[in-house]
Amino acid sequence: MSLGADLKETYEEIGIKVIVNGSGEEYIDYAPNSQVTKPFIREFFIEGSIPYDTTQVVGSIVRFDIFNSDYMVMNLTPESLENEVYEYSGVYYMSNVSGEILRPSGEAVWDDETYQKVTSFEVIQADAYALETEPLFGTDLDAQSELGNLSIERQELYIPTRYGIQALDRYQPVSGEYYKVDAVMKRRFSGMSVCKLSEDNR
């Protein structure tokens, strides 16, 4: 039996069960994030080791029942021995919002209350999981931190790139707010996009 298969059996014995993308069951050897002194990181980030044959990819949504929370896979690093991958080290960011991504349809419709024409939107992605953050003043994140140097002036949204979110889209969490996507940065993380948000009054 290979080292990877041995470790997989160990994860099933000592790890925690997670559900990947709503269906696949796997086990993870969970560990607290090493930067536990940083409040933002302690609140939203966890690390773990996962089997060599995982179905997870960057951008997958992973349900941790032990935390009663959904997390997004932000990074997977293969660990290998003699050219054989035996496990992956993963970094997970909590998804604290879910909602819909909407895009202007190019048409305007009459508002029944104001009797004015307003922008019409069409749903691009339902059940869009993400991490929405407020300004992080006073958190002492620095250039050596996992997030890099963040000086956030508006809300930021960490969201899987596969959803196809674009500038000028609207993100509507299930809580009911409307946010306009002012900019999308796709190069900070591979497979994940970071969006600048502002209140959407369209």
Per-residue model confidence (pLDDT) at position 36: 56
Largest pairwise CA distance in the chain: 71
Architecture of domain 97-199: Beta Barrel (2.40)
Distance CA 119, CA 174 (A): 20
Hey, how many other C-beta atoms are within 10 angstroms of the C-beta on 2? 12
How far from 114 is each of 98, 118, 200, 202, CA to CA, in Å?
A: 29, 9, 17, 13
- Judge whether residue 18 has pLDDT over 80: yes
**Lowest pLDDT segment from 40-44, 117-121, 183-187, 196-200:** 40-44
Predicted TM-score (pTM) of the model is: 0.81
Q: What is the share, in percent, of the chain residues with pLDDT greater than 70?
A: 83
Distance CA 72, CA 139 (A): 22
Distance CA 33, CA 58 (A): 18
Distance CA 114, CA 202 (A): 13
Domain edges within the chain = 3-94, 97-199
* Beta strands per DSSP E along 82-115: 84-95, 97-110
Distance CA 8, CA 79 (A): 13
Q: pLDDT band for 119, please (50, 70, 90 cuts).
A: confident
Beta-bridged to residue 88, according to DSSP, are 50, 78
CB burial of 140-162 (b: ≥16 within 10 Å; e: otherwise) equals: ebeeeebbeebeeeebbbbbbbe
Residue among 74, 96, 101, 97 at smallest CA distance from 166: 101
- Judge whether residue 165 has pLDDT over 50: yes
Per-residue pLDDT tens for 38-96? 666 677 888 999 999 999 999 999 999 888 999 999 999 999 998 899 999 999 999 99
